[in-house]
Structure 1
Amino acid sequence: MRITLFALLMVLSAGLFAQTENVNKNPFRQLYTELPTPNVYRNAAGAPGHEYWQQQADYEMEIRLDDAEQKIYGTSKITYHNNSPDALDYLWIQLDQNVRALDSDTYKIGTSNVNERMTLRSLSRLEPTFDGGFKIDYVKDGSGKAANYTIEKTMMRVDLAEPLMPGASTELQLKWWYNINDRMKDGGGRSGSEYFEEDDNYLYTIAQFFPRMAVYIDNEGWQNKQFLGSGEFALTFGDYDVKITVPADHLVASTGTLQNPNDVLTREQRKRLDEAAKEFVQPVIIATQAEAVEREKTKSAKEKTWHFNAENVRDFAFSSSRKFIWDAMAVKQSDGSTVMAMSMYPKEGNPLWERFSTKAVAHTLKWYSHYTFDYPYPVAWSINAANIGMEYPMICFNFGRVEEDGTYSERTKYGMIGVIIHEVGHNYFPMIVNSDERQWTWMDEGLNTFLQYLTEQQWERDYPSRRGPAHKIVDYMKGDKKFISPIMTNSESIWQFGNNAYGKPATGLNILRETIMGREQFDYAFKKYANRWKFKHPAPADLFRTMEDASGIDLDWFWRGWFFTTDHTDIALSSVEPFRVNTRNPMVENEMTKQQMKAREENISTIRNREEIAQTYDEQDRTLRDFYTEYDPLSSTVLDKEEYEQYLKGLNDAERAVLAANKYYYELTFENKGGLVMPIILEFTFADGTTEVQRIPAEIWRKDYKKVSKVFPFTKEVKSINLDPFLETADTDRSNNYYPSQTEVSRFDLYKSRSRGGGENPMQRDRRAKEKEGSNR
Structure 2
Amino acid sequence: MNYFSKAAFVLAMMGMSLPQIQAQEVTTNNQDDFNEFTYRQGSVFRSATGTPGMEYFQNEADYNIEATLNDVDHTITGKITITYTNNSQEKLDFIWMFLEQNRFTENSRGTLTTPIQGNRYVGDTDGGYEISNLQAKVNRSVSTKHLIDDTRMQVFFDQPIPADGGKATVSMNFSYKIPVDGMDRMGRLAVEDGTIYAMAQWFPQVAVLDDVEGWNVEPYLGAGEFYYDYGTFDYKITVPYDHIVVGSGELQNPREVLSSVVRERMDEASKSDTRVYLIRPDEVNDPSLLAKKQGTLTWHFKIENSRDVAFASSKAFIWDAAKIDLPSGKKAMAQSAYPKESDGVGAWGRSTEYSKESIEHYSEKWYEYPWPAAINVAADIGGMEYPGLNFCGWQSKGASLWGVTDHEFGHNWFPMIVGTNERRYAWMDEGFNTFINHYSTLEFNDGEYPSRLNRMRNMTGWFINPNREGIDTYPDVANLQNLGMIAYYKPAMGLYLLREYILGEERFDNAFRSYIKTWAFKHPQPNDFFNHMENVAGENLSWFWKGWFYGTGNIDLALNGVQAYQGNYIISLSNKGEIPMPVEMLVTFKDGSTKEIRLPVEIWQRGDSWNHLLSTDKEVESVELDPEKILPDVNFSNDAWPADFYEARN
Q: Give your verdict on TM over 0.5.
A: yes
Partner of 1:73: 77
Structure 2 counterparts to residues 425-440 of structure 1, below 5 A: 425-440=410-425
Change in CA separation of 1:423 and 1:128 when aligned onto 2, cut-off 3 Å: closer
Structure 2 counterparts to residues 567-582 of structure 1, below 5 A: 567-580=553-566
Are the aligned partners of 1:400 and 1:416 in contact in 2 as well (CA < 8 Å)? Answer: no
Partner of 1:155: 152
Larger radius of gyration: 1
Are the aligned partners of 2:381 and 2:391 in contact in 1 as well (CA < 8 Å)? Answer: no
Aligned with 2:48 (options 21, 44, 48):
44
2:18 aligned with 1:26: no
Are the aligned partners of 1:138 and 1:175 in contact in 2 as well (CA < 8 Å)? Answer: yes
Structure in which a larger fraction of residues adopt helix: 1
What residue identity is the alignment partner of 1:729? Answer: L
Partner of 2:625: 723
SS in 2 for 1:430: helix
Higher mean C-alpha displacement, 734-743 vs 20-29: 20-29
Are the aligned partners of 1:245 and 1:306 in contact in 2 as well (CA < 8 Å)? Answer: yes
Aligned with 1:549 (options 535, 549, 562):
535
TM-score (norm 2): 0.90
Are the aligned partners of 2:146 and 2:153 in contact in 1 as well (CA < 8 Å)? Answer: yes
Kindly report the root-mean-square deviation, in angstroms, between the aligned alpha carbons of the 2 structures.
2.5
What residue identity is the alignment partner of 1:286? Answer: L
SS in 1 for 2:303: strand
Change in CA separation of 1:356 and 1:20 when aligned onto 2, cut-off 3 Å: farther
What residue identity is the alignment partner of 1:357? Answer: S
Partner of 1:287: 279
Are the aligned partners of 2:387 and 2:416 in contact in 1 as well (CA < 8 Å)? Answer: yes
Are the aligned partners of 1:685 and 1:691 in contact in 2 as well (CA < 8 Å)? Answer: yes
Q: 1:645-678, CA deviations, whole angstroms, 9 ceiling, x for partnerless residues?
A: xxxxxxxxxxxxxxxxxxx322122222221111
2:597 aligned with 1:687: no
Structure 2 counterparts to residues 259-274 of structure 1, below 5 A: 259-274=252-267
Change in CA separation of 1:422 and 1:41 when aligned onto 2, cut-off 3 Å: same
SS in 2 for 1:229: coil
Q: 1:260-291, CA deviations, whole angstroms, 9 ceiling, x for partnerless residues?
A: 11111111000011111111x21111111111
Partner of 1:536: 522
2:237 aligned with 1:244: yes
Structure 2: how far apart are the matches of 1:687 and 1:731?
27
2:335 aligned with 1:348: no
Structure 2 counterparts to residues 370-449 of structure 1, below 5 A: 370-401=364-395, 412-449=397-434
Are the aligned partners of 1:204 and 1:321 in contact in 2 as well (CA < 8 Å)? Answer: yes
Q: 1:529-577, CA deviations, whole angstroms, 9 ceiling, x for partnerless residues?
A: 0000001111111111111111112211111111111111111112222
Structure 2 counterparts to residues 764-775 of structure 1, below 5 A: none
Structure 1: how far apart are the matches of 2:464 and 2:81?
52
Q: 1:274-314, CA deviations, whole angstroms, 9 ceiling, x for partnerless residues?
A: 111111x2111111111115569x99762110011111110
Where do 5+ consecutive residues of structure 2 fail to align? Answer: 1-24
Aligned with 2:136 (options 137, 141, 155):
141
Structure 1: how far apart are the matches of 2:30 and 2:210?
32
SS in 2 for 1:681: strand
2:608 aligned with 1:702: no
Partner of 2:214: 221
Partner of 1:489: 473
Same amino acid, percent of matched pairs: 37
Equivalenced residue count is: 614
Partner of 2:19: none
Are the aligned partners of 1:98 and 1:104 in contact in 2 as well (CA < 8 Å)? Answer: yes
Q: CA deviation at 1:98?
A: 1.4
Q: CA deviation at 1:468?
A: 6.0
Q: 1:188-228, CA deviations, whole angstroms, 9 ceiling, x for partnerless residues?
A: 430010112x44x2001100000100000111210001111
What residue identity is the alignment partner of 1:478? Answer: I
Change in CA separation of 1:112 and 1:401 when aligned onto 2, cut-off 3 Å: closer
Structure 2: how far apart are the matches of 1:341 and 1:378?
9
Are the aligned partners of 2:103 and 2:109 in contact in 1 as well (CA < 8 Å)? Answer: yes
Partner of 1:639: none
Change in CA separation of 1:145 and 1:501 when aligned onto 2, cut-off 3 Å: same
Are the aligned partners of 1:295 and 1:323 in contact in 2 as well (CA < 8 Å)? Answer: no
Aligned with 2:224 (options 231, 234, 238):
231
2:639 aligned with 1:737: yes
Structure 2: how far apart are the matches of 1:125 and 1:540?
27
Are the aligned partners of 2:143 and 2:156 in contact in 1 as well (CA < 8 Å)? Answer: no
Change in CA separation of 1:129 and 1:248 when aligned onto 2, cut-off 3 Å: closer
Are the aligned partners of 1:388 and 1:399 in contact in 2 as well (CA < 8 Å)? Answer: yes
Q: CA deviation at 1:467?
A: 3.3
SS in 2 for 1:565: coil
Structure 2: how far apart are the matches of 1:127 and 1:228?
10
If asked which structure has higher relative contact order (CA below 8 Å, sep 6+), I would say 2
Are the aligned partners of 1:508 and 1:562 in contact in 2 as well (CA < 8 Å)? Answer: yes
SS in 1 for 2:321: strand
SS in 2 for 1:670: strand
Structure 2: how far apart are the matches of 1:180 and 1:670?
61
Aligned with 1:525 (options 511, 514, 520):
511
SS in 2 for 1:26: helix
Partner of 1:176: 174
Are the aligned partners of 1:277 and 1:329 in contact in 2 as well (CA < 8 Å)? Answer: yes
Q: 1:734-770, CA deviations, whole angstroms, 9 ceiling, x for partnerless residues?
A: 111121112867xxxxxxxxxxxxxxxxxxxxxxxxx
Structure 1: how far apart are the matches of 2:293 and 2:535?
59
Change in CA separation of 1:21 and 1:540 when aligned onto 2, cut-off 3 Å: farther
Structure 2: how far apart are the matches of 1:260 and 1:460?
36
Change in CA separation of 1:36 and 1:100 when aligned onto 2, cut-off 3 Å: farther
Q: CA deviation at 1:473?
A: 3.7
Q: CA deviation at 1:129?
A: 6.7
SS in 2 for 1:308: strand
Structure 1: how far apart are the matches of 2:376 and 2:112?
34
Change in CA separation of 1:498 and 1:126 when aligned onto 2, cut-off 3 Å: closer
Are the aligned partners of 1:449 and 1:468 in contact in 2 as well (CA < 8 Å)? Answer: no
TM-score (norm 1): 0.76
Structure 1: how far apart are the matches of 2:47 and 2:604?
30
What residue identity is the alignment partner of 1:401? Answer: Q
Change in CA separation of 1:717 and 1:126 when aligned onto 2, cut-off 3 Å: closer
Q: CA deviation at 1:469?
A: 5.6
